[in-house]
Amino acid sequence: MNFINDAVIYNIYPLGFCGAPHRNDFELTYRLDKIYDFIPHFKKMGINTILFNPVFESTCHGYDTIDYRKIDSRLGDNASFKKICDTLHENGIRILLDGVFNHVGRDFFAFKDIQQNGMSSIYTNWFHNIRFDRMSAKGDNFSYEGWAGHYDLVKLNLQNNEVCDYLLDSVKFWIDEFDIDGLRLDAADCVDIEFFKKLRYTCKSKKPDFWLFGEIVSGDYNRWANAETLDSVTNYEVYKALFSCHNDKNYFEFAHSVDRQFGDWGLYKNLYLYNFADNHDVTRVASQIRDKELLCNLYTLLFTMPGVPSIYYGSEFAIEGKVQNHSDKDVRRELNLNSLENPDMRLFEHICKLSKIKHSLEAFKYGKYKNENIQLESLCYSMKTEGQSVFVLLNQSGETRNIGFNTGFNGVLTDVLNNNAKYDCNGYFSIDVEPKTSKILIANDGSFAINFDEDYSICVENNSKKENTPIQLFDIEDEEEIVVGAKYRHFKGNEYEVVGFAKDSETLQKMVIYKALYGEHELWVRPYDMFKETIERDGKTIKRFCKIDN
Band of pLDDT at residue 507, cut at 50, 70 and 90: low
Q: What is the mean pLDDT of residues 519-542?
A: 78
Q: What is the pLDDT of residue 242?
A: 98
Q: Based on the structure, what is the number of domains in the chain?
A: 4
Q: How many Cβ atoms sit within 10 Å of the Cβ of residue 362?
A: 17
Mean pLDDT estimate for the chain: 92
Task: Confirm whether 330 is domain-assigned.
Answer: yes
Q: What is the mean pLDDT of residues 116-120?
A: 98
CATH number, position 260: 3.20.20.80
Q: What is the pLDDT of residue 462?
A: 30
Q: Which of 331, 361, 391 marks a domain boundary?
A: 361
Task: Confirm whether 468 is domain-assigned.
Answer: no
Q: What is the pLDDT of residue 193?
A: 97
Residues 168 and 314 in one domain: yes
Residue 180 has pLDDT above 70, yes or no: yes
Distance CA 385, CA 378 (A): 24
Q: What is the pLDDT of residue 429?
A: 98
Contacting residues for 121 by C-beta, under 8 A, at least 6 apart: 113, 114
Q: Yes or no: say if 376 and 312 are a contact pair by the CB < 8 Å rule.
A: no
Q: Yes or no: say if 276 and 8 are a contact pair by the CB < 8 Å rule.
A: no
Distance CA 316, CA 323 (A): 19
Residue 37 has pLDDT above 60, yes or no: yes
Residues 203 and 322 in one domain: yes
Task: Confirm whether 2 is domain-assigned.
Answer: no
Residues 78 and 113 in one domain: no
pLDDT digits (tens, 9 = 90+) for 308-361: 999 999 999 999 999 998 899 999 999 999 999 899 999 999 999 999 999 999
Residues 200 and 54 in one domain: yes
Residues 285 and 153 in one domain: no
pLDDT digits (tens, 9 = 90+) for 433-490: 999 999 999 999 999 999 887 544 433 333 333 333 332 323 333 345 788 888 888 8
Residues 167 and 137 in one domain: no
Q: What is the mean pLDDT of residues 300-306?
A: 98
Residue 49 or residue 148, greater confidence: 49
Q: Yes or no: say if 121 and 112 are a contact pair by the CB < 8 Å rule.
A: no
CATH number, position 416: 2.60.40.1180
Q: Determine what percent of the chain is predicted with pLDDT higher than 70.
A: 93
Q: Which of 361, 377, 412 marks a domain boundary?
A: 361
Q: What is the pLDDT of residue 521?
A: 72
Residues 399 and 515 in one domain: no
Task: Confirm whether 482 is domain-assigned.
Answer: no
Residue 31 has pLDDT above 70, yes or no: yes
Task: Report which DSSP code applies to 273.
Answer: -
Task: Confirm whether 3 is domain-assigned.
Answer: no
Task: Confirm whether 299 is domain-assigned.
Answer: yes
Distance CA 189, CA 453 (A): 44
Q: What is the pLDDT of residue 470?
A: 33
Residues 80 and 116 in one domain: no
Q: Which of 322, 338, 361 marks a domain boundary?
A: 361
Q: What is the pLDDT of residue 478?
A: 39
Task: Confirm whether 480 is domain-assigned.
Answer: no
The dihedral region occupied by 192, where left means phi > 0, alpha psi between -120 and 50, and beta the remainder, is: beta
Residues 255 and 342 in one domain: yes
Residue 406 has pLDDT above 50, yes or no: yes
Q: What is the pLDDT of residue 362?
A: 96
Task: Confirm whether 123 is domain-assigned.
Answer: yes
Residues 175 and 274 in one domain: yes
Q: What is the mean pLDDT of residues 295-303?
A: 98
Residue 96 has pLDDT above 70, yes or no: yes
Residues 35 and 177 in one domain: yes
Half-sphere exposure of 145 (CA within 13 A, CB side): 15
Rounded to the nearest 10 degrees, the angle between the axes of helix 236-247 and helix 295-304 is 150
Residues 140 and 174 in one domain: no
Q: What is the pLDDT of residue 459?
A: 32
CA distances from 139 to 111, 134, 143, 153, 388 (A): 14, 10, 9, 15, 63
Residues spanned by the domain of 51: 8-101+160-361
Band of pLDDT at residue 520, cut at 50, 70 and 90: low
